[in-house]
């Protein structure tokens, strides 16, 4: 299965270029397990889901530690038709267990978020989850919402998106679980995510 | 049909708050035709597609004229299940003509982009179009790609997204046509868009 994202980092600062260049060093531990390509709009990252989400989290946290208001925005995708599914770097870890019953996966997702270490960086986030294909998979979506509401990071439902709040560690873990633990195992599922730190606007 | 977006504006400047507050005045001519709600992550805008895209374009252009590197990011949706379809403010203009043959709609979309006035603001953009539901509507997607390649704003296909480049006027018009002129007339279709100005990074 093809797993990856187009990722953008927006530091609201006159020093945005330096903050980005500094934060990009957070990707160094992941470079041998990710395909990374950058242009003027975004950085493509392709790789296994745990590496992909850890890399995005570290990029965000490094940038946020500058103190500037920073936003990470990404279009994350798994199972996109036309992708090089046979590329070993994109493999989905079968231990994610999409072939186990939904109730078990909800418990596994909650355990995964609960076991995630805090980063010390508070974050607010919102996302939309899109399931493409020939079936609405409503059971899966309802199960995912059940997971989200118990995750400890759930803030509220908004039009078109769901809002999360918490430490960046569990917040990114919640996003990862929502994308990979639910929905059709071989389907095309995408996540449109926005994660924000240091906003001067009160929620 | 329910039409709206969660919109965020990111000026990469220490003056980001002032740039945003100034640019938000660009929404004033649209306020009577849009429902607008803001929190710390995004601004919800709900209304007819032409008003929605004109408002996003003007917000982006006003902010970009500050000279700062600015990005507008939005999750745009039409036909989302659960939305208040009966709300008159969300009505789709039937003149968009989704009930006419595909070849005719491609021509109409091209004519609409071609008739769009330039704003004087260059922009780079990328987007992903997601069609949910019980049919892949491949003819519609192929038709939309045909339109995009002839639109004058097409830059290139990337993993997960399509990249556009040009004046902000035709760029936003292309995005609007892609979302509303193609796909199932009553379906749930979403667009994940990123529009950028004044990037110091060469494409």
Tell whether B159 lies on the interface with A, counting CB pairs under 8 A: yes
What residues 87-116 of chain B have any CB closer than 8 A to a CB of chain A?
Answer: none
Q: A203 vs B158: CB contact, 8 Å cut-off? A: no
Angstrom distance (rounded) from CA A114 to CA A137 = 26
Q: Where are the domains of chain A?
A: 3-197
Lowest mean pLDDT among A67-76, A182-191, B27-36, B173-182: A182-191
Q: What is the mean pLDDT of chain B?
A: 88
> What is the nearest CA distance from A29 to chain B, expressed in angstroms?
23
Rounded to an integer, what distance in angstroms lies between the CA atom of residue B98 and that of residue A140? Answer: 31
CATH class entry, domain B3-197: alpha beta
Query: Measuring CA to CA, which residue among A5, A57, A58, A51 is closest to residue A31?
Result: A51
Contacts (Cβ under 8 Å, ≥6 apart) of B47: B3, B4, B30, B33, B34, B35, B55, B89, B90
pLDDT class of B137 with cuts at 50, 70, 90: low
Q: How far apart are CA A104 and CA A122, in angstroms?
A: 29
Partner-chain residue, chosen from B133, B135, B159, that has the shortest CB–CB distance to A44 = B159
**Which residues from chain A sit within 8 angstroms of residue B8, using beta carbons?**
71, 73, 194
ipTM, 2 decimals? 0.90
Radius of gyration (C-alpha) of chain B in whole angstroms: 16
Q: With an 8 Å Cβ cutoff, are A42 and B11 in contact?
A: no
At A85, the pLDDT band (50, 70, 90 cuts) reads very low
For residue A79, give how far its alpha carbon lies from the nearest alpha carbon of chain B (Å). Answer: 11
Which has more confidence, B127 or A139? B127
Nearest to B136 by CA among A5, A140, A160, A135: A135
CA distance B158 to A95: 30
- Residue B125, token pair as written in the block: 């953009």
Q: B33: alpha, beta or left, given left = phi > 0 and alpha = psi -120 to 50?
A: alpha
Residue B70 sits at the vertex; the CA angle it makes with A22 and B151, to the nearest 5 degrees, is 120
According to the model, what pLDDT value does residue B68 have?
Answer: 97
**Closest-CA residue of chain B to A67:** B14
Write the residue in A42, A160, A163 that is nearest to B77 by C-beta. Answer: A160
Indicate if the pLDDT at residue A86 is higher than 90.
Answer: no
Q: Which DSSP symbol is given to B161?
A: -
Q: Which of B40, B128, B137 to mutate to test the interface with A (most CBs of A within 10 A)?
A: B40
Residue A140 or B30, more confident: B30
pLDDT at B133: 67
In chain A, residues with a C-beta closer than 8 Å to the C-beta of B130 are: 130, 132, 190
- Mean pLDDT of the A81-110 span: 66
Calculated CA dihedral for residues A4, B147, B70, B73, nearest 10 degrees: -50
Split at pLDDT 50, 70, 90, the class of A189 is confident
> Which residues 13-72 on chain B approach chain A with CB closer than 8 angstroms?
13-14, 16-17, 39-42, 44, 46, 69, 71
> How do residues A22-38 score in pLDDT, each as one tens digit?
999 999 999 999 999 99
pLDDT of residue B184: 76
């Amino acid at each position: 299965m093809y797993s990856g994202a187009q990722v953008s980092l927006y530091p609201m600062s006159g020093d945005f270029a330096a903050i980005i260049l500094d934060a990009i060093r957070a990707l160094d531990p992941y470079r041998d397990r990710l395909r990374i390509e950058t242009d003027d709009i975004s950085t493509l990252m392709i790789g296994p889901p745990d590496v992909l989400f850890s890399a995005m989290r570290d990029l965000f946290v490094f940038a946020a530690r500058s103190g500037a208001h920073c936003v990470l925005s990404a279009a994350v995708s798994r199972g996109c038709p036309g992708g090089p599914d046979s590329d070993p770097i994109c493999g989905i870890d079968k231990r994610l267990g999409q072939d186990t019953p939904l109730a078990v996966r909800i418990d596994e997702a909650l355990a995964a978020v609960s076991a995630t270490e805090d980063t010390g960086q508070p974050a607010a986030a919102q996302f939309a989850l899109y399931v493409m294909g020939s079936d609405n998979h409503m059971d899966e979506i309802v199960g995912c919402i059940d997971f989200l509401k118990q995750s400890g990071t759930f803030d509220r439902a908004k039009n078109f998106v769901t809002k999360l709040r918490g430490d960046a560690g569990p917040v990114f873990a919640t996003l990862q679980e929502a994308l990979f633990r639910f929905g059709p195992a071989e389907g095309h599922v995408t996540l449109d995510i926005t994660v924000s730190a240091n906003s001067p606007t009160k929620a």
